[in-house]
């Protein structure tokens, strides 16, 4: 992949099988804490989708960045090292940060972007489901690539070309992509939701092909993402969901807070 020229990527991109932006366990288990301000520490979770231990810090901002990298990537490839397979992705850092900012006039905060990547490199995940059993990190290495992207600008202070970024994914991300169902969707509408629990809820529901016509009971659905919750926490979560209710409707999810039911409309079921 490092031997490519930038102009070769467009031609090769359509020939490479897609890998989506996420997998079932990444959305069904709280690998990424359902919060915009994830806590540093050790999280242990066990539910109907599997068992999980996370040592470090991962939350919905990390998930937003990870999905954006896959959504905006230039190209990807699998390679072997010491008999183990790893995924490598090539992406344009400026495109990713601009997409994360949700504005064409600015970029996502660079310091924040770097912190999120560093968290994904150092956080250790132990995961066991019916399909996989794996321990490791999401990301192993991040480096500047030898492949340069031309920059169209008349400004003398802007370089005429910039390097693409190469990201080598660790055992966890690679194993999940190889063994699980993969899902493709634009992460930007989810990123517009204000709360981590709202983002986590949408991602969970996106991994299901069928939804009950009468809807889901809200609290058991949330506990699938959070684990057992006390009443004080429950009322806080309801408040967050109410604040995002209009944006959730735009994503095909309606919450009846009187009956505590969640209904997913037909047009937003997984394709």
Asked if the structure places residue 109 within a domain, the reply is yes
Asked if the structure places residue 205 within a domain, the reply is no
| 171 and 73 belong to one structural domain | yes
Predicted pLDDT of residue 20: 94
| 132 and 45 belong to one structural domain | yes
Question: What one-character DSSP code corresponds to residue 266?
Answer: G
| 30 and 153 belong to one structural domain | yes
The residues near 135 (Cβ < 8 Å, ≥ 6 apart) are 124, 125, 126, 127, 171, 172
| 133 and 230 belong to one structural domain | no
Predicted pLDDT of residue 7: 76
Asked if the structure places residue 262 within a domain, the reply is yes
Q: Where are the beta strands (DSSP E) in the chain?
A: 22-23, 41-47, 50-56, 75-81, 84-91, 124-128, 133-136, 139-150, 161-169, 182-183, 216-217, 253-256, 261-264
Tokens for 246? 């209009």
Tokens for 127? 């995961």
Predicted pLDDT of residue 271: 42
Tokens for 143? 């480096």
| 89 and 131 belong to one structural domain | yes
C-alpha triplet 136, 142, 145: angle, nearest 5°: 145
Asked if the structure places residue 201 within a domain, the reply is no
What is the C-alpha to C-alpha distance for residues 9 and 110, in angstroms, rounded to an integer?
A: 26
| 153 and 240 belong to one structural domain | no
Predicted pLDDT of residue 12: 81
| 147 and 57 belong to one structural domain | yes
Give buried/exposed letters for 111-147 (b at 16+ CB in 10 A, else e). Answer: eebeebbebbbebebebebeebebebbbbbeeeebeb
Q: Which residues of the chain have pLDDT under 50?
A: 267-271
Asked if the structure places residue 14 within a domain, the reply is yes
| 47 and 141 belong to one structural domain | yes
Tokens for 117? 């990547």
Question: What one-character DSSP code corresponds to residue 59?
Answer: B
| 44 and 140 belong to one structural domain | yes
| 29 and 141 belong to one structural domain | yes
| 172 and 124 belong to one structural domain | yes
| 149 and 231 belong to one structural domain | no
Asked if the structure places residue 43 within a domain, the reply is yes
Name the domain count of the chain: 2
Asked if the structure places residue 200 within a domain, the reply is no
Query: What residues form DSSP beta bridges with 62?
Result: none
Predicted pLDDT of residue 105: 58
What is the C-alpha to C-alpha distance for residues 197 and 244, in angstroms, rounded to an integer?
A: 10
Predicted pLDDT of residue 25: 97
Q: Which domain holds residue 172?
A: 6-183
The residues near 67 (Cβ < 8 Å, ≥ 6 apart) are 21, 22, 187, 190
What is the average pLDDT score of the chain? 90
Predicted pLDDT of residue 153: 64
The CB density around residue 7, as the number of other CB atoms within 10 Å, is: 8
What is the C-alpha to C-alpha distance for residues 71 and 185, in angstroms, rounded to an integer?
A: 8
Asked if the structure places residue 204 within a domain, the reply is no
């Amino acid at each position: 992949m490092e031997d490519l020229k930038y102009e070769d990527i467009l031609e090769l991109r359509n020939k490479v099988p897609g890998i989506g932006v996420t997998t079932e366990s990444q959305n069904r288990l709280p690998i990424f804490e359902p919060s915009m301000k994830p806590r540093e520490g050790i999280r242990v979770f066990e539910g109907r989708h599997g068992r999980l231990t996370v040592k470090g810090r991962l939350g919905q901002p990390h998930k937003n960045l990870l999905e954006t990298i896959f959504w905006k990537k230039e190209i990807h490839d699998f390679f072997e090292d010491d008999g183990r397979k790893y995924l490598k992705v090539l992406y344009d850092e400026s495109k990713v940060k601009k997409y994360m900012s949700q504005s064409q006039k600015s970029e996502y905060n660079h310091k924040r972007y770097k912190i999120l990547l560093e968290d994904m490199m150092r956080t250790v995940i132990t995961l066991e489901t019916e399909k996989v059993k794996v321990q490791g990190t999401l990301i192993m290495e991040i480096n500047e690539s030898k492949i340069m992207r031309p920059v169209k600008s008349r400004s003398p202070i802007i370089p005429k070309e910039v390097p693409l970024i190469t990201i080598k994914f660790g055992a966890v991300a690679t194993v999940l992509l190889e063994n699980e169902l993969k899902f493709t969707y634009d992460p930007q509408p989810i990123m517009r939701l204000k709360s981590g629990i709202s983002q986590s809820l949408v991602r969970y529901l996106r991994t299901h092909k069928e939804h009950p016509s009468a809807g889901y009971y809200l609290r058991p659905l949330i506990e699938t993402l959070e684990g057992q919750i006390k009443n004080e926490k429950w009322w806080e979560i309801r408040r967050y969901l109410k604040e995002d209710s209009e944006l959730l409707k735009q994503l095909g999810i309606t919450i009846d807070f009187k009956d505590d039911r969640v209904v997913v409309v037909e047009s937003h079921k997984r394709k």
